[in-house]
Structure 1
Amino acid sequence: MRERVLAVAKDEFSLIRRWTSRASNQEGAGLSVGIGDDAAVFTVPDGMEVIACCDAMIETVHFLRETMAPADIGYKAIMSTISDVAAMGGIPRYALVTMGLSADWTAEECDRIYDGIYEALALYGMQLIGGDTVSTPDALHLSVSVLGEVERGRALRRSAARPGDVVFTTGRLGESAAGLHALLAAARTDREPDQEWETLYAAHRRPQAAVHAGRLLLTSGAAGALNDISDGLASELWEIAEASKVHITIEQERLPISETLRRYAAAVGHDPYRWIFYGGEDYQLVGTVDREAADGLQRQFAEHGLSLVCIGRVIEGESEPGITLCEPQGRSRPLGKEGFNHFSGAVE
């Protein structure tokens, strides 16, 4: 019989010790007090400042057990928060995790959640330095705070796009939403997911934050605005346009789309661009760079095994914030700002 969490520990402290025992708490790199005291204590190097962000994953709102294994849940909760640090050109350093547990989650499942948490942290050399464990009446609640650092005064922001800039993204889009679509379809028909779409499942369950790309953009000195694609490309572009008070034009034929995504969309009769614009959870970066620096940045990214794809431009002489999509055959239309809605689920 699987042991239930509430039967394993009679108080939150034993649960915290169970799941944080793997935290290294190594001194150095600014950390002087880690897990085991009332709070963590750290410093940042001279010339740097702190980036702080938090995110949450709630069962039935952000994930379903039918589509995500426990380790995937922990991994993705960390990765989605790291992505916010990447979007400012920063370096993620530490994480704090609070887990709210309902009675139907087992101790073994919670162990696996922490397996995913530590796996994601290890990819970026990060440390777990605190958090909390509480009970909830209905579902799993996982809240993650990430602390990072960035050169003082140089954090990349949404509000820095300028007329004449080139608009770019850092990788393939729409695959996470398509992966969720495929996983839900399999779950609803009580069958195993088709392995033909494994890269789409991985994009949904095991994304990676574009930290290296963010650092290259910051150190280049040519980056303007930057945002991560968590709620869909359209939503993130709108955030840049409104924060920067600019109008952006996107060329649909330039958008990076994989052959696997095209094949899956054709197989299920779905418009792949709807997943790209409104699906979310790709965790690529979208932003702007100085037009004269774009070619050099593309070469630099390629040298590091990364992708930087120019997909549009910031319009000169246009003061009204907005997004225009240039479709094939010369058609153009306004691109709506809707995105992934965490209260209604993924875009179908």
Structure 2
Amino acid sequence: MSSSLPHIVASDDANLAASGRRVVEIEAEALQALGGRIDGAFSEACRLILASKGRVVATGMGKSGHIARKIAATLASTGTPAFFVHPGEAGHGDLGMITDADVVLALSYSGESDEVLALLPALKRQGNLVVAMTGRPESSLAREADVHLDVSVPAEACPLDLAPTSSTTASLAMGDALAVALLEARGFTADDFARSHPAGSLGRRLLLHITDVMHAGDDVPRVGLEATLGEALVEMSRKRLGLTAIVDADGRLQGIFTDGDLRRALDNPGLDVRAAKIAEVMTRNPKTIAADQLAVEAARLMETHQIGGLIVVDGQGRAVGALNIHDLLRARVV
């Protein structure tokens, strides 16, 4: 009975690793060659997109379609509104998603994909500008496009020269080059990036401020300078942050008392903890943070100084908030 399973050629670890390295080397050579073709056509493509009042519509079939979808996602997250349209679906109604203000980025390594070429007459009638990305400058798609980006490669990394490997890597790199060039031309900032990624860890790190995570008002643990150690412990227990601020009559921060300070006080044989005033055992000049700073800065301070919490102060040094490492963990800042 014949087996439908593919024939497995035995290979040792050295041969497997050598195959992997060969792929990386071939694709690296392809990218090196691609760098020399980032030229006037690339700049013209950028100018067309920057001048557009619409979006970039990326399209492509098969593996080129997967790359086009990734390029659209990268553009959209870096300040250039973009989305992917499947060329097959476009011919059955999705063409209505494309407005006359949009720039179409069409990918086809051969430049002869029927589904992509079939869209060109309708796009031309609508007045869309087309940027083509192919590996054949003489192809139909390259000739019909307003701008052609040459992503040809010396060879695919596939030993059969069949599976798109080097060519898809080159196309993806060209898409990244477009996205970054446009990002820089628009003056796109880290804050802009965070606003389009609010649910991601980077968005939280760049957008979340101390005011978003701190305890404020009556939830801030604080006692006066005349408080006893016992009174401070009651306040710490009530507010459950593992610390308390020690403030003067005007609410200005004078010190902090933490669980660590308590352990050190208990280890001091010369201290009567029942009679001790909090001012005797507090940490003076503690690390603080302002309410308008990023929450990630609080994480950095805690890590650098090996502390578990911070008091938030205003411009006059008044204690207006408090937070600990658990607040940052809940907010997924760390």
Q: TM range, normalised to the smaller chain? A: under 0.3
Structure-2-length-normalised TM-score = 0.20
Instruction: Tell which has more relative contact order, 1 or 2 (C-alpha 8 A, sep 6+).
Output: 1
